[in-house]
Structure 1
């Protein structure tokens, strides 16, 4: 029904358009050599003072009045600008290729003036960072991390020390829609959050949307992070890889059928477990490693049809084992993601482009524990296993229609089948009766139908208006909610622009977390009859100025969130799985719905970004001033409190300087107000024993926490430096990278605890102590291309 409605709507538009007498310029833009289709390329028509950009699949379309002469300027960051002059009397297919910039050419600096200007883009709160620029930013232990680079942008709050979690404009890590080739990724971290699972060598583009969401996006409250994998070199076989201190990576790509079909495959694995194993005693063994694999193939059937198949698979595995005489114990923690996308591009006409995708996404974590003990020649065994997962099957169809320079219409439909398994806990013991606690799988269905139009009524005014109708069916109930979207931009002389946006977003899935840092043990659960969807309403106002080659953006935003979830006081992951009571026979765990409470949140602030994407010196300066508060009726006596990731001030300085074609120097400096934490303000003792019914209360210390998150950690700041040395060999290019993480060895807080080891029988002495994780860490890595 939704698909039929969309097709009827598009057909009606086409009838109206058929009554006009315009002609169309359309085609694909590729990278010279590799044949990669390029998204986000600017196509400008100088005579008409209009233009467009290529979509995610490199396609563009412009319908204009016929002309004897037409000047077309094609530009994109990281590529040399191309200019074409056409005789434009009938509809024309113009397929274009762009050459990657050569930093030795002076023309690169000049071409920056032709790059699409931020002041001419109606979309606000959107940031794209070129992949090559991301790969030049210094990284912890040399591991290039796309999500850590996004943390350096204004409006993106950092988690704890070294963590890759993203907290965008007051939202939690579950409120970010992270997509890899259209497939959602539910846990995007390796090593308990210290690294993300995205291999930058295999990515073509990364775009972050923090607000003013177009109607084509839905399902999350706070942000959209859209990542596209490379398609693979269509003309020759190539490879790229690297060897670092903790992991190695390799990317291979090449043609299957030259200029028609290609593949790319990339893999990465840590080897810390292999290095540490010989150093550990035989009776106590522990190990951890992660690996990931990306693969993609595509086939070009001609101008009208293209097919893509891509996938990701990755795992983290932690294990330990110990043995003392006849007693042994061990266990492990494993988690991982798997995604697959089959996409078909079809060109109905010069003006109508369609993409249809079949999408699979799966995330699972598993905790295992086992022990065997012998006493008086009697052996008792214990085995515990806990599993949680979420699995999606989706069908997505989207249409891009360009009837005229004044309209760029997008419409589409998304249908998703979710299956949640919040937890399955199994306990087997040889001395106690078997204890099994199983949750039934929770099936739910999510749908979305959208229509949006980027309208350009006059030269200075641009409007993106749209609506998304979302639905969610679960537990015998169906939620249907409209989501209006509006973005307006008005451009003044000298490349000044004023922008405003409004967006309503609904989220029907929730992440239950105690830590606030997105650990793999957090539980994904659906909206139910008792648990309402989350909703956010965000308004933003901004000013943009293009200085050539700089762009300056100043934005203010206000966001209200409803239906956000938190564990009740004293509840946790252990309570909802039943792990806390497994020593008791035949006791079932409390439902996860009984452990949580719903509340609301507020986020508002100002963001400043000065960015330079071209030339020898690139980078940005970002600053955020913001306030983030939450309120739950059953927490903190119902009063508002600062969110854990509330940071009043957040500063990021990023600089990348290409000294020449062989040497690149880069550095980052970050500063942030300390996190808001809950620490005891005072203690008192209950002396006893005191008889309460049949229970004796013995002397105990009681901690008074006062207000929730009323303590501020020390400010966080850090300097990272890096030097890349490239050299072109006969058959390959090699790169040595030397970096310093936390160059002046700042002791940033990882967590706090209260030490009372110096207390005596007559005097109580408690000291607040800070634990820091990373001092100065030098690293070296070797990279190669062939």
Structure 2
């Protein structure tokens, strides 16, 4: 399709969709004889909103869940309605409401937690999976994340998500997520509604999310709602706490790797609050005195000095202001970075019979690898009426990556020479959107909205600069430096429709126009979900979605979330497009404490990108598109998820049977091959148990089929041509060994097995709770390979040699102790 034609078509799509939105909003008029009960559910002690709290009307057999701002709206066809409001870890509130007219009811729930204790009563476990049409949705609270065993004592959001069915990590110990056979870029990761483009610290071993500041994490794996877009497969929505509106306080942790601190309190009691949390590694600070002492000794003896730096940090800040009962204003900021580098100084020495002394001339070598995210959001929410809730959001997201090396030879001497290599990349987003939640009556809950986002891509700029003083030569070269601008215009409409007591439908349409340069890519993406009640507490469910992703992530394939993975626009390559369908069963026990889902899914992915054979982000190029090839992928699987909560025990079991493959004409001779992180069988089991009032224990077990890898299958001795004639073919010094590789990802590593354990002892020092936490990562000391390499093995009798595969395990059994405190 020509650019001009696609542009004309695309700009016709959005007006059509906006007309649908207007029609949906118009249907929100009051229904005769029906009132609407609406309000906000909060924590009684802190005033913070509770996301995902359940508001259930037992006499009507229906309910609603609070949205991301704690708001709910429930049509009530009776004069008086009895409501039961519940949330995990809180006392249930029962109240009767006069619903002859629209009425607002704000509910404050009392927490049932002390010294880590969480009491869960029957039917207080949140919205049951069979009670909603949405499929593939799993939510974890901040308490869930904090209670799990942790690598190096760091509670981690993404590692918690990896324990869910259909989700797996990359390399051993890393925090990346691959959902239902998709690559990391196919999951939209949001922090308080702002996209995060790199979600890891320490080369992927920890996520950027500080667990103390997290309120709720929600993963939607399948046909995600129409209000989300721009990604092919799934959505991970991370919401931060608002901050305590009633009293000043804080909490923190001192661990092996890093320390973190959170401080919160009211700016105006009951009206405005703030929250600030920070985390930083301190290994560099602890090592600094030893490094300085070693360098002083080396300098005194005229030897080389080395000054390394290695640390990461992140900072969250949030202000929450309630100017009226109907309005809330939020301002949230996040900043985080990883800094790795070194500088070595090697002085020239003058030597004679008496010895050697350093001179003023020296060689200096340095290098660094830095990356980080900076995000911000301003949000104004307003309860327009008991039936309508509005949220206006303005966002910014900036991700940068910078790696460089510097060499100065003969600095301070007569003939210095210098060279510098620097590689930079990044992506900057500026966006705004408006969202409306409408209780339309007649069994309809409507969400409509739209927005725009401007993108600035820096796919990668490689600069080479240098100077040779003696020759009078200067070098200044820049490759691949062009920036690309892009824009997204989106609009959506959703309708959660209770057709009858037994049938619920989720209908949605997401319309988008993505433009960059001379290219325009429009899309209309329908979303469908349904739940049919087979009997009480058992539902048959189905869902389907068509999605489009206008940006790509070029990955190194290392699976450790390297910052060198490049975000690039669609441009002439075109966007990724996908189709996914799912069907299954969902149910719960009569008490509501046990819930389960069984889902089968199929995904089709088109327009995937990968580096050509031998190419990488450091390959010199004028255009990144010269380095990539395009292809397709499929994924299909079956997932089982069983969750159980009681007053002292929270546990879940997940199992995934899946197959994922890829096909690129320019890779693997055009033959289809397994995805690098295809895992046929995956089992995860988690338990968090309160032994007694001051003691908690936890365990997490993971089993998975080994990763698919590409291995050498043969080697032969090759020769190089020399001398300019056929007779120039020689052996000896010009002989090298050539390696022949087998099918791409055609071999399997041994199965992955890991058991993590945790124990926490809570105690009081004064009025505030404190805790000591012991975490044991890989308690059975399983040698799970972080990477693989080959080695040569020689037979001592025959002298023959053969290649063998060697797995390098990074994490043995690893116990850590951390101290948690509050004030």
Q: Same fold by TM-score, threshold 0.5 exceeded?
A: yes
Determine which of 447, 463, 466 is the counterpart of 1:426.
Answer: 463
1:311 aligns with 2:333: yes
Aligned to 1:572, the other structure's residue is in SS state coil
List per-residue Cα deviations over 1:405-439 (Å, max 9, x = no partner).
Answer: 61110011021000001122222222354132151
Query: How far off its partner does 1:386 sit?
Result: 1.4
Counting only pairs closer than 5 Å after superposition, residues 345-356 of structure 1 correspond to structure 2 as: 345-356=381-392
- Residue 42 of structure 1 pairs with residue 77 of structure 2: no
Per mean C-alpha deviation after superposition, the further-off stretch among 396-405 and 557-566 is 396-405
- Partner of residue 158 from structure 1, selected from 155, 169, 194: 169
1:25 to 25, 37, 44: 37
**2:487 matched to 1:436?**
no
Q: Quick one: which of 308, 314, 317 aligns to 1:286?
A: 308
Q: Distance in 2 between matches of 1:612 and 1:715?
A: 28
1:16 to 1:293, Cα distance in 2 relative to 1, 3 A: closer
Structure 1 residues 565, 554: CA separation in 2 closer, same or farther (over 3 Å shift)? Answer: same
Task: Report the equivalent of 2:528.
Answer: 486
Matches within 5 A, 1:646-725: 646-687=678-719, 689=721, 698-725=734-761
Partner residue of 2:4? Answer: none
Determine if the alignment matches structure 1 residue 522 to structure 2 residue 558. Answer: no
CA offsets per residue over residues 476-520 of structure 1, 9 Å max, x none?
A: 121101101100001222311111000111111111112242210
Name the counterpart of 1:555: 599
CA contact (8 A) 1:51 1:405 kept: no
- Number of equivalenced pairs: 772
Report what 1:192 is aligned to: 203
Q: Tell me the residue number matched to 2:658.
A: 626
CA 1:693–1:637 in 2, change beyond 3 Å: closer, same or farther? farther
Q: Who is 1:58 aligned against? A: 70
Please, which of 601, 608, 617 is the counterpart of residue 649 of structure 2? 617
Find the aligned partners of 1:126 and 1:490 in 2 and give their Cα distance: 17
Alignment match, 1:342? 378
Mapping 1:42-441, distance limit 5 Å: 42-67=54-79, 69-102=80-113, 108-112=119-123, 115-280=126-291, 281-282=294-295, 283-325=305-347, 326-374=362-410, 378-404=415-441, 406-431=443-468, 433-438=474-479, 439-441=481-483
Distance 1:340 1:186 in 2: 13
Q: CA deviation at 1:112?
A: 3.6
Kept after mapping to 1: 8 A contact 2:149/2:777: yes
Q: Residue 801 of structure 2: SS of its match in structure 1?
A: coil
Residue-by-residue CA offset, 1:96-155 (whole Å, 9 max, x unaligned) = 011112479999454346743221121110001121121010011101101000001000
Task: Give, in whole Å, the separation in 1 of the partners of 2:442 and 2:656.
Answer: 36
Q: Is the 8 A contact 2:125 2:645 kept in 1?
A: no
Q: CA deviation at 1:13?
A: 3.9
For residues 691 and 172 of structure 1, do their structure 2 counterparts lie closer, same or farther at Cα, with a shift above 3 Å needed? farther
Name structure 1 gaps, 5 residues minimum: 579-588
TM-score, normalised relative to structure 1 = 0.94
In structure 1, C-alpha distance between the alignment counterparts of 2:24 and 2:148, rounded to whole Å: 49
Determine the C-alpha separation between the residues in 2 that align with 1:31 and 1:616. Answer: 21
Instruction: State the SS of the aligned residue for 1:766.
Output: strand
1:753 matches 2:780 = no
Structure 1 residues 179 and 612, CA gap change in structure 2 (3 angstroms): same
Structure 1 residue 191 displacement after superposition: 0.1
Q: Secondary structure at the match of 1:36?
A: coil
Task: Please tell me whether the aligned partners of residues 21 and 492 of structure 2 are also in contact (alpha carbons under 8 angstroms).
Answer: no
CA distance in 2, matches of 1:492, 1:198: 40
Q: Larger deviation: 161-170 or 761-770?
A: 761-770
- The aligned residue for residue 586 of structure 1 is none
Instruction: Work out the CA distance in 2 between the residues paired with 1:756 and 1:271.
Output: 40
Asked if the contact 1:559/1:602 (under 8 Å) is kept, the reply is yes
The answer to whether the aligner puts 1:474 opposite 2:516 as a matched pair is yes
Q: Is the 8 A contact 2:465 2:476 kept in 1?
A: yes
After superposition, the C-alpha distances for 1:633-681 in whole angstroms (9 at most, x for unaligned) are 0000000001111111111111100112211000111111111111111
Aligned equivalents of 2:583, 2:558: Cα separation in 1? 29
Partner residue, 2:616: 572
- 1 CA distance for matches of 2:607 and 2:155? 36
**Pair 1:645 & 2:657 matched:** no
Q: CA deviation at 1:6?
A: 4.4
- The superposition leaves residues 749-786 of structure 1 with CA deviations (integer Å, 9 ceiling, x where unpaired) of 11111123759997434332221101111100000122
Asked if the contact 2:125/2:593 (under 8 Å) is kept, the reply is no
In the TM superposition, residue 346 of structure 1 has moved relative to its aligned partner by 1.6
| CA-based RMSD | 2.3
Partner in structure 1 of residue 639 of structure 2: 607
Secondary structure of the structure 1 residue equivalent to 2:692: coil
Taking the aligned partners of 2:437 and 2:582, their CA distance within structure 1 comes to 26
Q: Which residue of 2 aligns with 1:544?
A: 586
Aligned match of 1:450: 492
> For 2:270, what is the secondary structure of its paired residue?
coil
Structure 1 residues 446 and 510: CA distance shift in structure 2, 3 A: same
Q: Distance in 1 between matches of 2:113 and 2:313?
A: 34
**Alignment check: 8 A CA contact 2:31 2:441 kept:** no
Question: Does structure 2 retain, via aligned residues, the 8 Å contact 1:103–1:616?
Answer: no
Looking at structure 2, the residues matched to 487 and 769 of structure 1 have their Cα atoms a distance apart, in angstroms, of 47
Q: Is the 8 A contact 1:66 1:90 kept in 2?
A: no
The answer to whether the 8 Å contact 2:187/2:233 transfers is yes
In structure 2, the partner of 1:635 is: 667
Query: Aligned residue for 1:497?
Result: 539
Gaps of 5+ in 2: 1-10, 296-304, 348-361
Among 717, 730, 735, the residue aligned to 2:766: 730
Q: What do the CA deviations read for 1:595-650 (whole angstroms, capped 9, x no partner)?
A: 10000001001111111234211121111111010000000000000111111111
* Native 8 Å contact 2:186 2:234 kept in 1: yes
Comparing 391-400 with 110-119, greater Cα deviation is found at: 110-119
Aligned 8 A contact 1:64 1:405 in 2: no
